């Protein structure tokens, strides 16, 4: 069963434009409610969280209406990180969790992603079944079985306490000055508070959301803001989250950025030394740098690659019984603690390494030398299929032949935006630039 509405991370689009309309959110809520009430039983519940986008109010109300119309009882969490929804879905014994967020996208976008009762994101198959239900009549609950809605006032506090339990016992962050950039997003309360409670001196950035400034020149996709704060305040380290706080970038005391690959390398090496890295395997996507693969192999460890998307990383981890994975973009998944990427949790475990060994961040963020990598995005028009054009196929084939034995090329369509992503790796930086530029030009001409 195919999916057209759902992408790699739920349903996403521009707010108040299909599919991110109140009407579609209501129907999605009703379909999801009916999907989880197929046995006809009562007393089902769902938790709904959101980030700080203005459109979150509209979508939250519409989803609540749809879910209660099928008999689901709704627990409203308010603004919380995406990983908090995964955690609270499981801890509150809910049948379904919903997060309203477009992650790192601008404020005018929004999205809806679903979590199952185990706290993990729904499978492709489950999403396809829910999507198929939208084409027909969705059976509503009898009048006396309509669901209720209730706001959970301490949702952020519950998540904060959970995150702190994952921090190594006996360690504190005393003496560390930490810049935390919350991207004016979902972690604007939780992240600074957790760091302060663990003893850090906290310099908060991006903690004044107004509904339209989420990810605006701040957060993990605009690390220059946190870098400036680190240098200006003489901080030891910076932690930069995205709008829903499921991804992170780390900045050392000079403002240099460490992406998800470097963080995963640090954690994988530590866990392997302690005998905690299950199967001696780290799971990452095809986007992760070749240097990471070499780093793992040099330690007798293994890198398992998946398709792009943290959901596919998690699926591989669960199937293989592995407990550490993530993406270069900063999703770090530690299934010993969480069911999805958690930027704050990953940041804390980086800080634990600093607190344990007294090493500066600049030493920890450089675990391996990266192979030169270049990524360019090409936006395409609605209805266009540039990757199917013969000219694009020819350009890709020709440049794959040029780079053979020296590197690799990866071309893919974004699962969340109308973009073609052109990425290549090669030790020869000049050849790397030529290869990417030729393919980008061909894609742009067909877009």
Task: List the catalytic residues.
Answer: 103
Q: Give 57-112 as a DSSP string.
A: HHHHHHHHHHHHHTT-EEEEEEE--HHHHHHHHHHTT-SEEEEE--TTS-TTEEEE
Q: Are 331 and 121 in contact (CB under 8 A)?
A: no
Q: At what angle do helices 124-133 and 22-36 cross, to 10 degrees?
A: 110
For residue 239, give the H/E element and its range. Answer: strand 237-241
Sign of the Cα torsion 433, 436, 438, 441 reads negative
The Cα 195–Cα 188 span in angstroms is 12
296-335-411 Cα angle (round to 5):
55
Q: Give 253-319 as a DSSP string.
A: TT--EE-HHHHHHHHHHHHHHTT-SGGGEEEEETTS-HHHHHHHHHTT-EEEEE-SSHHHHHHHHHH
Give the residue among 428, 436, 427 at the shortest CA–CA distance from 375.
436
The Cα 82–Cα 98 span in angstroms is 9
Q: Are 43 and 71 in contact (CB under 8 A)?
A: no
């Amino acid at each position: 069963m195919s999916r057209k509405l759902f992408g790699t991370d739920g349903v996403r689009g521009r707010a108040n434009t299909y599919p991110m309309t109140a009407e579609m959110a209501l129907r999605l809520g009703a379909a999801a409610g009916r999907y989880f009430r197929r046995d006809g039983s009562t007393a089902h519940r769902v938790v709904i969280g959101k980030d700080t986008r203005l459109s979150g109010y509209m979508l939250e109300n519409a989803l609540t209406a749809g879910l209660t119309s099928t008999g689901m009882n709704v627990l409203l969490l308010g603004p919380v990180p995406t990983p908090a929804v995964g955690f609270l879905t499981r801890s509150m014994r809910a049948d379904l969790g919903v997060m309203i967020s477009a992650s790192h996208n601008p404020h005018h976008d929004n999205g809806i992603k679903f979590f199952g009762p185990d706290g993990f994101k729904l499978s492709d198959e489950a999403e396809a079944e829910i999507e198929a239900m939208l084409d027909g009549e969705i059976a509503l609950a009898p009048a006396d079985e309509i669901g209720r809605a209730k706001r959970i006032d301490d949702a952020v506090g519950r998540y904060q306490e959970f995150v702190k339990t994952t921090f190594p016992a006996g360690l504190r962050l005393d003496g560390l000055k930490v810049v935390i950039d919350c991207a004016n997003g979902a972690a604007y309360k939780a992240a600074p508070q957790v760091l302060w409670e663990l003893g850090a001196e906290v310099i908060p950035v991006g903690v004044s959301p107004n509904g339209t400034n989420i990810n605006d020149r701040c957060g993990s996709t605009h690390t220059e803001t946190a870098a400036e704060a680190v240098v200006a305040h003489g901080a030891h380290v910076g932690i930069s989250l995205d709008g829903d706080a499921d991804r992170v970038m780390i900045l050392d005391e000079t403002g240099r950025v460490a992406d998800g690959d470097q963080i995963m390398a640090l954690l994988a090496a530590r866990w392997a030394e302690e005998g905690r890295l299950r199967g001696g395997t780290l799971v990452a996507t095809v986007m992760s740098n070749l240097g990471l693969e070499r780093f793992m192999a040099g330690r007798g460890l293994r890198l398992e690659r998946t398709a792009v998307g943290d959901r596919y990383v998690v699926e591989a981890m669960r199937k293989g019984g592995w407990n550490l994975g993530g993406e270069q973009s900063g999703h770090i998944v530690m299934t010993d603690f969480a069911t999805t990427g958690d930027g704050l949790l990953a940041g804390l475990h980086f800080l634990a390494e600093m607190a344990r060994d007294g090493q500066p961040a600049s030493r920890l963020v450089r675990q391996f030398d990266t192979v030169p990598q270049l990524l360019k995005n090409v936006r395409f028009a609605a209805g266009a299929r540039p990757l199917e054009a013969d000219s694009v196929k020819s350009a890709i084939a020709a440049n794959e032949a040029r780079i053979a034995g020296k590197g690799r090329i990866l071309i893919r369509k974004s699962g969340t935006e109308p973009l073609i992503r052109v990425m290549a790796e090669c030790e020869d930086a000049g050849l790397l630039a030529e290869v990417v530029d030729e393919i980008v030009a061909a894609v742009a001409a067909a877009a």
